[in-house]
Amino acid sequence: MALVRPRSRRMKNAGAEAAQFRARAFLALACIVLALVGLGAWYFRLQVLQHEDFATRSEANRIKLQPVVPGRGLIYDRKGRILADNVPAWRLDVTPNEAGDPAKWLPQLARIVELAPEDVERFDDTRRASRGFKPITLKMRLSDEEAARFAVDRWRYPGVELVSYLNRRYPYGELTAHIIGYVARVDEDDVKALGPGFDALTHIGKTGLERAYESQLRGAIGYEKVETNVDGRPLRTVGRVPAKPGTDLRLSIDIDLQQAMVTAFGDMDGAAVAVDPRTGDVLAMVSLPSYDANLFVNGITHKHYRALTTNPSRPLFNRPVLGGGPPGSTIKPLVALAGLDSGLRTPESSVFSTGEFHIPGQRRGYRDAHGAAGWTDLKKSIAQSVNYYYYKLAYDMGIERFDTYMRRYGFGQKSGLDLLGENIGIVPSPEWKSRRSKEPWYAGETVIAGIGQGYWVATVLQLVRGTAALANGGALHPLHVVMATREGYNGDWHSTARGAAPRISDSESNLRAVHDGMVATVHGGGTAAMMARGAPYLMAGKTGTAQKVSRKGSASVNPHALPYHLRHQALFVGYAPADAPSIAIAVSVEHGGYGGSTAAPIARKVFDAWLLGKMPEPAEGVTRSPQGGASLEYVPGAEAEAAKPAVAAPATPARVPAKPTSTPTQPVETQEPAPATGDPKPAPATRDAQAKAAAQKALAALQALQAGAR
């Protein structure tokens, strides 16, 4: 039997095991220490080195910057009545990235808030063209009821916000549309023009003073720091950079006189401007027909815009600023002054009018509307509008000298009015014609330029400015509408800077001679004798008739027998009281016929409103809302003073002389006028009534034809 050898036992090495444990523990400790050091370094990097960056990110998640659009500057008339106001309103803004697919939420939203097809179409176009994180306005001007309904169901529509803002309002609607203009929603072109920093703006001035003074009226955008929860709901406001309100404007316009001017036109189209000849302040300026500027503020509907653009009378066209045409006989007082200042004529110089002027060596004659006027001096030439006198004067002066004097009187240049896009018109000259055609300048073109015909294009702004210079003794003041500005509601008004007023003549005797002729036009049996009836003050003026068609052969043209759209332009310029002028005016009536029977009575009504406080009575059945706009009446509550019917009193009381200061001349016998621009003696009232009825009938027929063509 074999013996089993017992196994040997190995003895534990306690020291080695302890050393091994220590090594492993040290290694673990080193790893832990390294990890803690790394973690500490990481925390140091986050908390110290990158603290500003992550604090900014954290703040951005918690705090949202909401732009604060300032209140747009208000616009007042000269008496402090508000012409452009801001009223609280609500709008719906949508952030596309947060709102999601419009097909899912838009139909449900349309049950709460009424959405027009134009609103949805505009939203879709803007959404496709802009970034998804930028809010887009879905609808402007929600009603209070719509705002309340949406507020209840706000939680159903993430990314759709109800935003309060100030909406622009024009209390006088179409009465001031061509002066104030309007604001409208910002488009892509506006965003590019404004540049960064103006993304919060929803409206911008598009026309009129709203556009010309846009940078001052809009103010400076501010910001609010709003703390939000994890759902993006606002909790509280933690900071604010206040917005700076826009600058307020005070205009020289008198809204009562503006209304009187519109009423005086009745149902006729045209333009008129009244100014203070002592300062160049524009007291009233109308372009008729007009439109309601409120229609454009939040986006005009296709229906209203089509009605405005297809109207043959062009209500959107600003006639005083953008229009113009031949000045006709209204230019004669200034041509007469040029003849005096050039030394070619004296007040006593006379020419013998045979009724037809001939250029030496030519058979063609240039006829006079009144036929042979006989011996005619300067006073008679203005009062009776004798063309022969001005045919010869322009021919003797020559076109170069004629052009120089007309530019000295403000033609061919801007009037200084603080509205954009003013037409400078055309002063006839060989240089101007050479740029237009290769034909030479003809002597006959000089002759007809002397009576305001031919290539002439003058605006009513230029006419009233030149007339005001005659009224004030020769100072050609730049015209302006804004007379003062202020920063903030409690700020002081500061007068705007006025430009220099060059003199049109240094001879008081020459200016007085022209003045006497213009007084005789009204009070001396001249072409504007109709407007002098019952007047308790003296007036000075000049009528004009600018043709649209020429005579055939030797036959005269009766404008009342022409189709409505071919009738002559009726014009009048003048000032009152003649002995201490406080108002000057230029009136242009489209298709009006004769200046003496159409334009002059309008000027008389405006003079009465300004000097006597006598407002004209509106013609029965006449309305001035061709596009279905708001009434011309002031909206109550905007300004307490607006309820007062008072009209501005003249700065200098009108003096009523016992008899005219000018020596009356014998009126010309009634006759059919020749096609030149001289004005005949006013026709009987019955004839005017028949002509007006015929004009209305012709206009109705024209509109019917155009409607049929469309």
The catalytic site residues sit at 329
Distance CA 559, CA 695 (A): 10
Distance CA 485, CA 706 (A): 46
Nearest Cα to Cα of residue 599 among 224, 268, 199, 179 = 268
Other Cβ atoms closer than 10 A to 592: 27
SS3 content of the chain, % helix, strand, coil (to 5): 40, 20, 45
**Both tokens assigned to 304:** 């209203």
What is the pairing mode between strands 222-228 and 365-367?
unpaired
**Residue 641 · residue 79 · CB < 8 Å:** yes
Distance CA 646, CA 642 (A): 9
Strand partners, 651: none
3-class DSSP state of 11: coil
> How far apart, in Å, do the first and last CA atoms of the chain sit?
135
Nearest Cα to Cα of residue 70 among 270, 290, 243, 281 = 243
Q: Residue 312: which region, alpha, beta or left (left: phi > 0; alpha: psi -120 to 50)?
A: alpha
As a residue count, the chain comes to 710
DSSP per-residue letters across 482-496 = EEEEEESTTSPPEEP
Angle of the 387-397 helix axis to the 399-408 helix axis, nearest 10: 110
Q: What is the CA angle 521-526-532, rounded to 5?
A: 70
3-class DSSP state of 334: helix
Distance CA 328, CA 325 (A): 9
Q: Which amino acid is at 35?
A: A
